[in-house]
Amino acid sequence: MKPTFFNKIVLVLGISSIAIPAFAQDKDNMSSTNQPPPALTPQQFVSDAAVGGMKEVFLGKMALQESTNDEVKSFARRMVRDHGAANKNLMKIAEAGRLVFPPTNTFAADDPNWSNPLISNPDSLKGAQILTMPSLPYLSDYQAVKHLQPLTGGQFDQAYLSDMVGDHSNAVTEFETASQSLSDPALKKFAGKTLPTLQRHYKMAQELNDKYNVSAGTNMTNQAGSTMPQVSPVSPAAY
């Protein structure tokens, strides 16, 4: 698909196509000024991990409604359970450390971020408008959720599993970094204890994506035996 004018402007502005830009790339990469990327701060980790966890719970609940595949629904139930529990622990740690925890209605229908023109109607924006708009840190996450909302059945499964692979790949990278280098000992411990669960999630998502997704050009069938049409993959976001 030919890039839209909006997409070109977004690239110029440096808005990332993923929610964790500093850690979804090779940690050894240097910037154009030959300086290392900024260190992961406790507040940034809390924000990234919380928003990522809320996204997985939100999409997991959506999958339980929209998917007709028992394996996908089983995976979604695990996402709701594991990420919900992790975020409860993270909220306690954030409160004890006087760190800001993102609003718990993130991605819900009453989330005010849905009214942001970058999400609600990006094609209507002109270059000058975009240049004056404040950035939305988790723009790609909202775009991924919006992309999944109208899908059902096999099309939903494909897009959901593709997103889960990208999300958990990024999460594993950031939690590895956090478990090794965070200055806050409680968050560092939390990252280390949560990392194995995220690694299992990533492996499960990969296996399901390889089994059911047609992105490699093979046909995908659901449990009823019908062929599922190919859909465009969603860009990876948070976890």
Q: Which residue ranges make up each domain of the chain?
A: 40-117+140-228
If phi over 0 gives left and psi between -120 and 50 gives alpha, with beta otherwise, what is residue 106?
beta
Give the model confidence (pLDDT) of 138-168 as tens digits.
Answer: 999 999 999 999 999 999 999 999 999 999 9
Q: What confidence tens digit (pLDDT) does each residue in 45-88 have?
A: 999 999 999 999 999 999 999 999 999 999 999 999 999 999 99
94 close to 86: Cβ distance less than 8 angstroms: no
**pLDDT at residue number 23:** 42
CA dihedral (70, 76, 81, 85) in degrees, to 10, reads 170
Q: What's the predicted TM-score (pTM) here?
A: 0.75
What pLDDT does 132 receive? Answer: 82
For 40-117+140-228, CATH gives: 1.20.1260.10
Rg (CA), the chain: 18
In whole angstroms, what separates CA 182 from the centre of its chain?
21
Overall average pLDDT of the 101-117 stretch: 95
Pull the structure tokens for residue 229: 């049409």
Per-residue pLDDT tens digits for 210-225:
999 864 443 333 333 3
Q: Are 15 and 131 in contact (CB under 8 A)?
A: no
Residue 128, class by beta-carbon neighbours within 10 Å (0-12 exposed, 13-18 middle, 19+ buried)? Answer: exposed
Residue 15 pLDDT: 33
